[in-house]
Every structure is written in structure tokens, then in C-alpha cells.
Amino acid sequence: MGCKLDQYAEVAGREVIDHLRQLAEPMKGINVVHVNSTREGGGVAEILHRIIPLQQELGINAKWEVITGDPEFYQCTKKMHNALQGDRLYIPETLLKQYEATNRRNYERLQSVLEAADMVYIHDPQPAPLLSLCSNRKGKWIWRCHIDASRPYRPVWKYLRRFVEGYDASIWSLTDFAQPMPHPLYIIPPSIDPLSEKNMELGKKEIEKIYEQYELDPQRPILVQISRFDRFKDPVGVIQAYRMAKAFVPRLQLVLAGGGATDDPEGKDVLIEVMDYSDDDPDIHVLLLPPDAHRTVNALQRISDIALQKSLKEGFGLTVTEAMWKAKPVIGGNAGGIRLQVINHHTGFLVDTPEGAALRIRYLLKNRENLEVMGRRAKEYVRENFLLTRHLREYLTQMVAVMRGSLERIQL
């Protein structure tokens, strides 16, 4: 649950908190609704869990609604997600009809809340059609895209665009992702909450318990990738990199830990692929975690020597931010939001192939001093750029701009 704003002063500075209160002043009492498609699993839910209580504490009447659907709906929206990230996927008409019908059903349930809201934030494609159903709206509607949509598969984007262009504004995580729109565009990268169970300091005992719990050897180097089991996160590529590096660092251990998200139907298949590929190697630990295993994720990140996030496409990659906050260098795929965080050779390394990842693993493990310097820089980089307080400030600025009807494109 959310912490009191004042507690953030210790991490971010008193003046930052005063500034937030000042910015929020004109928004006191307004009704804001966030809508997405899962309460657990994945970065969007992670952010909403943290940012909504703080918006409430600033006097904004913020609510969170989740749309639900049957398996065909999630099958459709997962395809949409993959197509926006560039997969050339055909989505059958029957699935698109299901998508629209599911939004109609959810609209009936949420109608009064959505009509009355001063501001509605619709996160990602799943609930995007809700706007077209709300003929009696009072407030401003914003589409918040968390996906790496820099090179979407055109036919799918063309279909989705119909629903999105009617919004009053849209928010994207990176300039590269923003698609031309007939409304103002805002660029707001996500953030992590330094006080959440996922990111707070943990006691030594709690951290060390993880070695025993997952049969890891504290005397040997550990690589960790935390991710939903999703092909865009390239878990198989991670195993390939680990195998190549192990030829030079035989004591290496790998942890691939992930859970599912209720709106992601492909996780089970990918997990099976990963298990098969790991081929009973006792030094590859594939962990299926429950959605509330925040402290476990926190501890796994803390016991790692290097964090991997070898994604082929990545909207932002909160797992990268989380690992960097724990002073770990990250070897990340040269994609999307990872590029914003991993400053090559400075806070970690960007790689395009398993071979590249293996080379960097080997380098860092043989150059411990550099590993530590990079880790410390990574933490400072997150402190300066990717904490929740910065994110909240940009949301507030964007709210003021939309409420006042600014027509400028603003990069916050």
C-alpha cells in the first residue's frame, strides 16, 4: 500500500515534495479514473499500485478500474500487443469482434464512473474502445501507451488507431514510440517506487534466506533475469548467453524468475519452452513466482552479481530500473525503454545478441571493480531520473496542461 508522501522526502528531497503539493493544488477534489486490464503482473499494474495512493494523498480523487474478459479477449489483446511491438500478426475478425463486445460489456459496468470523471486514463490497447462508447462524457480522456510501438505492424495499428485518435491526449514512454496523432502527445517515462516492498532496503537475513530457499550458492556468481515468461523478453537468448559465458566462468549460476499476468495468455507455453531449453542444468534456476512475491524479487535482485534484461522489444523495463536501484549493472537488450536506462559502458551494457551478452557477462565478472562502479552509477542514474516522485510531477503537469487545453506538444 502507498506510503505517506512525506516519507519520500528522505529519498527525493523535501523541496520535491513541496513542489508536488503546490502542483496538485488546482487539481484538489477532481475525479480521476485509471483503467487497465490487470491488477497483478506486469509493469502497468506495478505503477498503478504505487501512483494512485499518492495522487489520492495529494487530494485528487483517483480510482482504479480493471476491465475483464474471457480467454478470447486476452488472446486478441496479446496479439495486438505483440503486433504493436512489430510482430506481423493477423488478428481474425472474430477475435476483433470479441474485443469490441468485451469493451461494450465493461462499459456498461463502468458507465457512471467514466461519465462523471474529470479525467480518464486508459492504459494500453485493451480498454482503448471505451472512449468510443462514452457518448456522454464530461471529462478529458487520455490514452497511456506503455508499449514499444516504434514500429507497429501497420494493419493492427490502423485498426487500433480508430479508437485512439479521439482521445484528448496520449502519453508515451519514449519519443521514439510516439505515433502521429491529431491531439497533444506527452512523453513520460515510467518509474519505480523506492519505498515499495519491491525496492525498499531489506535486512541481511531476509536477503540471505533466498540462497537456501532456491538452492543458490552464495560463493558463486549469479545472473538474474526477472520477467514474465514472454518471447519478447528472450529467456531462451538468456540461457544461450549464460551457456557461452559458462565456458569461461564455469561456476556461473542463472536465475530466470517470473510470474504470469492475468491478461497474458502465452506465459505457460513460454515457461515450458524455457524449462525444455534449460535441459535440467542444475545451475539454471527457473522460478515461477506468485504475483505478490515482491520481497522475493527484491532479494533476488540484491543477491545477483549482474542483472540481465535481454528483451528484443521493451516498453520501458521496470525490472531494469529495479535492478539498477539495487546498484546492479544491467546487461540489457538494445531495445525501447532499456536504451533510456542502460547507458552503454556507463550503467551497464546494451547488447543485440546472446554472444554480445556473454561477452559482457564475462567482462564484468572478470573486472569486479568496474562491475561495482557501474552498479553505483546505475543507482544514481535511477535516483535522478526514474523515481516515482518525478513521475508524479510529470503526471500533474500533464493534467494541468490537458485541463487548460494546451495545444503544444510538451516533452516533460
**Pick from 318, 358, 378, 402: which binds ligand UDP (CB under 6 A)?**
318
**Pick from 65, 148, 263, 322: which binds ligand UDP (CB under 6 A)?**
322
177 CB-near residues (< 8 Å, 6+ apart): 145, 147, 148, 149, 150, 315, 336
Say which residue the cell 474529470 belongs to.
118
First vs last C-alpha separation in the chain: 27
Establish if 316 lies at the interface with ligand UDP (CB under 6 A). yes
In the bound state, the residue with its beta carbon closest to ligand UDP is: 43
Label each residue of 213-239 as H, E or C. HCCCCCCCCEEEEECCCCHHHCHHHHH
Residue 299 one-letter amino acid: A
* C-beta of 39 vs 294, nearer to ligand UDP: 294
Instruction: Tell me, by CB under 6 A, how many residues bind ligand UDP.
Output: 19
Establish if 297 lies at the interface with ligand UDP (CB under 6 A). yes
* C-beta of 23 vs 357, nearer to ligand UDP: 357
Establish if 202 lies at the interface with ligand UDP (CB under 6 A). no
Establish if 348 lies at the interface with ligand UDP (CB under 6 A). no
Q: How far apart are CA 153 and CA 137, in angstroms?
A: 31
- Which stretch in 59-67, 168-176, 255-263, 347-355 sits in contact with ligand UDP by CB under 6 A? 255-263
Establish if 126 lies at the interface with ligand UDP (CB under 6 A). no
* C-beta of 216 vs 402, nearer to ligand UDP: 216
**Pick from 319, 334, 341, 347: which binds ligand UDP (CB under 6 A)?**
319
- Which stretch in 24-32, 288-296, 349-357, 391-399 sits in contact with ligand UDP by CB under 6 A? 288-296
Shortest CA distance to 321 belongs to which of 217, 173, 220? Answer: 173
* C-beta of 190 vs 354, nearer to ligand UDP: 190
Q: How far is the CB of 289 from ligand UDP (least distance, A)?
A: 4
Establish if 382 lies at the interface with ligand UDP (CB under 6 A). no
Residue 373 one-letter amino acid: V
Establish if 257 lies at the interface with ligand UDP (CB under 6 A). yes
User: How many residues appear in the chain?
Assistant: 412
* C-beta of 387 vs 402, nearer to ligand UDP: 387
Establish if 46 lies at the interface with ligand UDP (CB under 6 A). yes
85 CB-near residues (< 8 Å, 6+ apart): 147, 148, 149, 152, 232, 313
- CB-CB contact of 277 with 240 (8 Å): no
Element (H, E) at 123: strand 119-123
Q: What CA dihedral angle connects 93, 96, 97 and 101, to 10 degrees?
A: 180
**Pick from 32, 33, 34, 42: which binds ligand UDP (CB under 6 A)?**
42
* C-beta of 289 vs 343, nearer to ligand UDP: 289
From residue 322, alpha-carbon distances to 35, 115, 176 in Å are 24, 36, 23
* C-beta of 43 vs 127, nearer to ligand UDP: 43
**Pick from 79, 228, 243, 391: which binds ligand UDP (CB under 6 A)?**
228
DSSP lists the bridge partners of residue 271 as: none
Establish if 286 lies at the interface with ligand UDP (CB under 6 A). no
Q: 214 φ, ψ to 5°?
A: -110, 20
| Contacts with ligand UDP, residue ranges (CB under 6 A) | 42-43, 46, 198, 226-228, 257-259, 289, 293-294, 297, 316-319, 322
